[in-house]
Amino acid sequence: MFPHLDATLADLYFALLALAALICGVGMVLARHPLNAAVLLIGVMLSLAGIYALLDAPFLAVLQVLVYAGAVMMLMVFVIMVLNRARSDVPRCDWLSVGASAASLLLTALLASTLAQRELAAHPAAVRGEPEPISALLFAPAQGWWLLFVAIGVTLLTAVVGAVLLAKRSLDTEPKAAEDDHAH
């Protein structure tokens, strides 16, 4: 995607984007406010999109921005705002989160030690993933994979409508109860 970048500059950009993703990820885990955590998660996703672009995967970079940093995060912020969780603070951590963090750090160290022992090189016969053959396979009428996309879309739409209806019902019942308390 960036043929004019030399190896040193590409490595520098990769290190900066990886550092930004790491800082945003740690900040997201430590954030006490749900909206701050959501904004930091957007930072992680945008950093990953930059890394995808550096790795010569523009299709994945654009999908990362459009789908995850755009649509999914907009939905998450919408749910946070509808459920009125933006006012409450989230506890920083408990023993379960400390144990889960320790386990993930242990697995990361194991993965890093395994990768350090092997030489990483691209296989010369590997096929580069382009969107045209992938979409031809996924959306071919004989394959039937398109039906899964439709089913997932309907499921997500149903979940959003259900969340809005549940939130609206709880918002409608709270003021009535408050009016009854003031009447007595």
Q: Is residue 67 part of a domain?
A: yes
Q: How many domains does the chain have?
A: 2
Q: What is residue 69's predicted lDDT score, i.e. its pLDDT?
A: 83
Q: What is residue 25's predicted lDDT score, i.e. its pLDDT?
A: 92
Q: What's the pLDDT tens digit per position in 4-44?
A: 777 788 889 999 999 999 999 999 888 888 888 889 999 99
- If you average pLDDT over each of 46-50, 72-76, 87-91, which comes out highest? 46-50
Question: Does pLDDT of 177 surpass 60?
Answer: no
Which of 92, 112, 147 is the last residue in one of the domains? 92
Residues 5 and 77 placed together within one structural domain of the fold: yes
Q: Is residue 34 part of a domain?
A: yes
Residues 82 and 12 placed together within one structural domain of the fold: yes
Residues 19 and 78 placed together within one structural domain of the fold: yes
Its pTM stands at 0.56
Residues 19 and 77 placed together within one structural domain of the fold: yes
Q: Is residue 109 part of a domain?
A: no
Q: What's the pLDDT tens digit per position in 99-128?
A: 888 998 999 899 889 888 877 776 665 556
Q: Is residue 98 part of a domain?
A: no
Q: What is residue 172's predicted lDDT score, i.e. its pLDDT?
A: 63
Q: How many CB atoms lie within 10 A of CB 163?
A: 15
Q: Is residue 178 part of a domain?
A: yes
Q: Which residues make Cβ contacts (< 8 Å) with residue 64, sequence separation at least 6?
A: 45, 46, 48, 49, 52
Q: What is residue 144's predicted lDDT score, i.e. its pLDDT?
A: 73
Q: What is residue 126's predicted lDDT score, i.e. its pLDDT?
A: 56
* Domain CATH number, residue 16: 1.20.120.1200
Residues 88 and 145 placed together within one structural domain of the fold: no
Boundaries of domain holding 173: 139-184
Q: Is residue 110 part of a domain?
A: no
Burial environment of residue 34 by CB neighbours within 10 A (0 to 12, 13 to 18, 19 or more):
buried
Question: Residue 174: pLDDT band by 50, 70, 90 thresholds?
Answer: low
Q: Is residue 106 part of a domain?
A: no
